[in-house]
């Protein structure tokens, strides 16, 4: 390999430095998100099986349903039969026109710990689920609130018990994680990868002391903490982001805990069509312009480093400005480290396949997420 030209050409050296810096940033990102979450042991949390009944606070599981009777038929039994001494399940049926009311009525006859709140007419001055969710939280009788969604099923009947372990050291909010059920086809794989990277991002940042967001599929906080911080009032005018913006504005390193126990997970179905998946993704992106500057810079660091890495690598290779063997080694180093981190994360949470496809999916989402974010900025 001939390095003589590279060592004397200023532009080539600048490009190569940019390549190395972007590689370091990407490697740190994979390590601090995927790898950190994959290897987190949660040693500061107590063993749930060792907790006595007196140690376990009463819990209210709260969810909002709108025309989701089919999901409720599957998820409600898992919620209502949790292995926990004192809990209730509060379901806010908001203007459903399907069989949701009858599903809740049948369950109420068999489960006294189910509280159903029905809104036959739309009295929400704002779009979205923030108003009905606030009503559900206000109607809950217990201080510990555990949020989920109708399409989510706890992985274990010890879900509540494991999530509550996060409160044993004085936390006001507990961040859980959500998985997707296995599906067939490319669309299912793309959803698995995106859900994995989203989970790794917010959980990894929370473990580093910056809980910038969470998922409403598996999120807990104290009722007093919710209302003392104004609930959703500051962003009622935005239909999306009930869980997202509340966590971003109020949850900090000192008042939160992350729970990654296997029994603390919930699982949801993959979307059956691209349009449904696109709507979920859009709802997640539309609130990001309201984040603080620090969170925006953190979220920008990864895609920007990836763009710089790809562009500089292509320029150096196409222009013949640097030995291709060394460029191939740099690319190979990046891919190997990425696959290792992804594989360890997948092993931790029993996610199949995606590790070897992650370098390809990464490029796809770089373009797809950029386009989606730009469109959300234009939306009033």
Q: How many other CB atoms are there within 10 angstroms of residue 61's CB atom?
A: 29
Six-digit token string for 10 = 């200023």
* pLDDT value at 375 more than 80: no
- In this predicted structure, the answer to whether residue 6 has a pLDDT above a threshold of 60 is no
- Residue of 145, 149, 139, 126 lying closest to 235 (CA atoms): 126
User: pLDDT confidence of 270, banded at 50, 70, 90?
Assistant: very high
Q: What is the mean pLDDT of the chain?
A: 90
- Give 130-185 pLDDT, tens digit per residue: 889 999 999 999 999 999 999 999 999 999 999 999 998 889 999 999 999 988 88
- Determine contact, residues 208/290, Cβ cutoff 8 Å: no
pLDDT for the residue numbered 286: 86
Q: How far apart, in whole angstroms, are the C-alpha atoms of residue 248 and residue 291? A: 7
Phi, psi of 319 (to 5 degrees): -80, -5
What is the pTM for the complete model shown?
0.91
36: tokens are: 């950190």
For residues 191 and 271, give the distance between their C-alpha atoms in angstroms, rounded to a whole number.
8
Confidence category of residue 5, pLDDT binned at 50, 70, 90: low
Write the secondary structure of 210-270 as one string of H (helix), E (strand) and C (coil). CCCCCCCCCEEEEHHHHHHCCCCHHHCCCCCCHHHHHHHHHCCCCCEEECCCHHHCEEECC
Instruction: Give pLDDT tens digits for 340-367.
Output: 999 999 999 998 777 889 999 999 999 9
> Which pLDDT score is estimated for 260?
95
CA 208/CA 202 separation, integer angstroms:
10
User: Quick one: pLDDT at residue 46?
Assistant: 87
What pLDDT score was predicted for residue 47?
Answer: 87
Helix (H) or strand (E) holding 93: strand 87-94
Q: pLDDT tens across 274-329, in order? A: 999 988 888 888 888 889 899 999 999 999 999 999 999 998 888 777 778 888 99
Look at residue 377 in the predicted model and tell me its pLDDT: 64
Reduced to 3 states (helix: H, G, I; strand: E, B; else coil), residue 173 is strand
Q: With a cut of 90, say whether residue 44 has pLDDT above it.
A: no
Q: How far apart are CA 61 and CA 82, in angstroms?
A: 11
């Amino acid at each position: 390999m001939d390095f003589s030209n590279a060592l004397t050409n200023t532009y080539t050296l600048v490009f190569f430095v940019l390549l190395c810096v972007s590689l370091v940033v990407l490697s740190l990102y994979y390590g601090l998100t995927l790898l950190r979450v994959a290897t987190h042991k949660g040693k500061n949390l107590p063993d749930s099986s060792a907790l006595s009944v007196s140690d376990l606070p009463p819990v209210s599981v709260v969810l909002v349903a709108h025309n989701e009777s089919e999901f409720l038929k599957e998820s409600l039994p898992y919620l209502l039969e949790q292995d926990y001494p004192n809990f209730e399940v509060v379901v806010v049926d908001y203007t459903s026109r399907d069989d949701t009311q009858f599903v809740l009525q049948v369950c109420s006859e068999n489960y006294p710990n189910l509280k159903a709140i029905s809104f036959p007419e739309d009295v929400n001055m704002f779009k979205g689920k923030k108003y009905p969710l606030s009503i559900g939280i206000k109607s809950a009788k217990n201080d510990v609130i555990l949020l989920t969604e109708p399409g989510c099923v706890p992985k274990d009947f010890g879900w509540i018990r494991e999530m509550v372990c996060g409160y044993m050291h004085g936390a006001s909010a507990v961040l859980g994680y959500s998985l997707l059920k296995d599906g067939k086809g490319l669309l299912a794989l793309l959803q698995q990868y995106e859900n994995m990277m989203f989970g790794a991002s917010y959980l990894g940042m929370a473990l580093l002391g910056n809980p910038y967001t969470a998922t409403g599929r598996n999120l807990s906080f104290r009722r007093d903490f919710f209302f003392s911080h104004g609930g959703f009032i500051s962003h009622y005018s935005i239909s999306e982001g009930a869980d997202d913006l509340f966590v971003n504005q109020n949850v900090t390193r000192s008042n939160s805990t992350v729970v990654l126990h296997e029994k603390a997970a919930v699982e949801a179905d993959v979307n059956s069509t691209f349009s449904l998946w696109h709507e979920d993704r859009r709802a997640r992106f539309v609130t990001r312009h309201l984040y603080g500057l620090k969170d925006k810079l953190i979220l920008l660091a990864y895609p920007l480093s990836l763009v710089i890495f790809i562009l500089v690598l292509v320029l150096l290779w196409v222009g013949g400005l640097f030995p291709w063997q060394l460029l191939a080694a740099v690319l190979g180093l990046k891919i190997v480290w990425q696959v290792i981190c992804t594989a360890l994360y997948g092993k931790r949470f029993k996610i199949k396949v995606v590790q070897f496809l992650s370098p390809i999916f990464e490029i796809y989402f770089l373009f797809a997420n950029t386009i989606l974010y730009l469109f959300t900025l234009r939306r009033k």
